[in-house]
Structures are given as structure tokens and as C-alpha cells.
Amino acid sequence: MNPRRKQRLAVVGIIGFLIVSAIGLMLYALNDSIDLFYTPSEIIEGKNGQKPQVGQRLRIGGMVVPGSVKRDQESLAVSFDLVDTGPKVTVTYNGILPDLFREGQGIVATGILTDAGAIKAQEVLAKHDEEYMPPELAEKMKGIKHVKPENMPSYETPNSAGGK
């Protein structure tokens, strides 16, 4: 092989190494910002044979257990239980909950796993429609019906009340 071809091969090899290194560094940097979605059952029992680690950032979706919402009278702290088809997971949140948040409704929370069955949420999202549910949660909950709490107010729209 002549020296000119060796030089070109070395340049191509260096450029390839730099591209692979840059991609590897980007994936490593993004690893901290990836939020994996779990249901309460997957947090307790594991997902694909792996349980999430304490301190891991994740998203959890489930139904708020009726009667489990506990609000602190002194601050904006609130805790509640989430359930899908199995065990419950306790979520604590310090902030203003969405207007659509209520017991018996589906929510998605983003936070950090603090214990095997507890999450400290940084964001809580409530579903915005009677029929909407995150696709991952809908797949897990096929065939299970949740009963609406008796003390939950019913909301009427102007058209449903017989108004003009």
C-alpha cells in the first residue's frame, strides 16, 4: 500500500472514531434525562425482569385510589395511592395539583423512586377526558372497571342540563 492511501485510511479512521465517540458521549449525557414509564405493578414486581432502582427518575401512571388522598393543612404537600391491576404505590407531591385531579381518576406523575413503593413526584398530570388513558396503562387495565366514588360531584355542561 502506498503512503498516500495509508494517510487517507488513517484520516478516515480518525474521523470514524470521533463520530462514534461523539455519539457515545451524547447517549451517556441523555441517560440522566430519560424517564421510563411504569405502572404501580411494574414498580413493585418489576418490568421485563428488572425492578427500578431507588433514586431512579421515572413516570408512573395509574388510578388514584378513592379515600387515599391526604393533604397537609400547613403546606401544599399531598400524598395519594396509585393502583393499576395489582399493588398500590404511594405518591407524594408538593405543589398545586391539576384541576382535573380527583379520586378514582387516572393520572401520570413524573418523579423519583424513593422507596420500593413510594415516589416523590415533581409533576402530576391528570387525564383531560373521560375516555383518555395513557396507552401503556390502558393495555394493562383491559377488562378492569373502576367504580366512581359516591361522594364525587357530577358536573353538568350547559347543554346536558336542558339549557339553551
- Is residue 97 situated within a structural domain? yes
Could you give the percent of the chain with pLDDT greater than 90? 29
Could you tell me if 7 and 60 lie in one domain?
no
Residues contributing to the annotated binding site? 128, 132
pLDDT of residue 38: 85
* Domain limits for position 8: 3-27
- Is residue 77 situated within a structural domain? yes
Query: Mean pLDDT of successive 10-residue segments in the chain (164 residues)?
Result: 89 96 89 76 82 87 90 91 88 90 87 90 79 64 53 46 47
CATH number of the domain encompassing residue 76: 2.40.50.140
- The total of structural domains in the chain comes to 2
- Is residue 95 situated within a structural domain? yes
Could you tell me if 59 and 114 lie in one domain?
yes
Residues contributing to the annotated binding site for heme? 128, 132
- Is residue 7 situated within a structural domain? yes
Could you tell me if 93 and 114 lie in one domain?
yes
**What's the pTM value of the predicted model, to 2 decimals?**
0.61
Could you tell me if 23 and 45 lie in one domain?
no
* Tens of pLDDT, residues 49-74: 788 888 888 889 888 889 999 998 98
* DSSP states of the chain: --HHHHHHHHHHHHHHHHHHHHHHHHHHHHGGG--EEE-HHHHHH-BTTBPPPTT-EEEEEEEEPTT--EE-SSSSEEEEEEESSS-EEEEEEESPPPTT--TTSEEEEEEEEEETTEEEEEEEEE-SSSS---HHHHHHTTT---PPPTTPPP---TTTTT--
Could you tell me if 73 and 7 lie in one domain?
no
